[in-house]
Amino acid sequence: MSVVESQIIQGEWTDPERAKVKLGDYASQWVNQRPGLRPRTTELYRWLLRKHIEPRLGGVELGKLTTATIRQWRADLLAAGVSESMTAKAYRLLRAVLNTAVEEDRILQRNPCRVRGADRENPAERPVLSVAQVFDLAGRMPERFRALVLLAAFGSLRWGEVTALRRCDVAEDGSWVRVSRAFVEVRGKGLTVGPPKSRAGVRTVIIPAAVRPEVVKHLDTYVKPDPLALLFTGERDGNALRRPNFNQRTRWTEVVAKMGLKGLHFHDLRHAGNIWASKAGTSTKDLMARMGHDDMRAALIYQRATSDADERIADRLSQLVEEHRRGKGGDDPDDDGALVPAT
């Protein structure tokens, strides 16, 4: 029996003619065949293909792609100054495309994307704002945007979520906000409205009582009585708030620099809120619900990033040691206060 016959019987045979399709053509079709992707994700995939994958690999036949080829492509991107984070995104996209070629279309027998560590991102640590800093930042904003900053932080809301809020999405007493949609900026289409980033993104978030008066004040002052009226709009046209306009109107870059927070992103407000929630002793499930994540990895990252509970344990152990020492009175010359492990 020939090798080909054996592969056919075992269901492992691939037609070498099909493997002659160019990667660029196959990857473009791969994106087109995924209508369920969010517009922003589709835009990102097309940009990664156009910018980082097709220039070097687009003309290569699928069957001629090797791990060595992929490794060199990655090295060339990094040498050209492409960030490690962006290179990892491009690599993961390429791997997903070729996984389909292996598992669904049976064009390849194995995925050549086997470069160890190439899929990992090591983004720089983002600053963690204190409650005082968030209120300071909100106070430096034009009055109509003060509640925007506070809701993003204390409600752990994304930019697209908070700017898509309407009067009907907010309790009259400011006690909760309901997230059911989000604005997304799409190339060639402008601002579009769609579902939140994940399935768990549809949620109701309880707002801390200390912040509710600010929300009520904003509703009374800046929001039209129509239930569908947007909470946050431009000052002149009343249309949905766009990030470039917000940055310009608030002088965001200048303001955060004066606060000693140069490079602070709006998303860092949500990051701060997630950190605060994790410090409150929240369960992983509850933290996921508040953040709007259906993947527990993000929640676990925030929980690992907070050591307050462990510090409280250490403080309590120190108190026990001190109580032990006071009980001994310091009379025993052999007592050095050491803790003896149990046997």
Q: Is 1 exposed, middle or buried (0-12, 13-18, 19+ CB in 10 A)?
A: exposed
Is 302 tagged catalytic?
yes
Give the number of other CB atoms < 10 A from CB of residue 49: 23
Alpha-carbon dihedral sign for residues 214, 216, 217, 221:
positive
Is 267 tagged catalytic?
yes
CA 120 to CA 96: how far, in whole Å? 14
Is 52 tagged catalytic?
no
Which is catalytic among the residues 34, 199, 267, 312?
267
CA 138 to CA 132: how far, in whole Å? 10
Q: What phi, psi does 142 have (nearest 5°)?
A: -55, 145
Closest CA to 280 of 269, 291, 296, 267: 291
CA 199 to CA 207: how far, in whole Å? 21
Is 158 tagged catalytic?
yes
Q: Is 333 exposed, middle or buried (0-12, 13-18, 19+ CB in 10 A)?
A: exposed
Is 34 tagged catalytic?
no
Structure tokens at 62: 């699928």
Which is catalytic among the residues 140, 158, 181, 212?
158
Which is catalytic among the residues 74, 218, 270, 290?
270
Which is catalytic among the residues 45, 91, 222, 302?
302
Q: So which residues are the catalytic ones?
A: 158, 267, 270, 293, 302
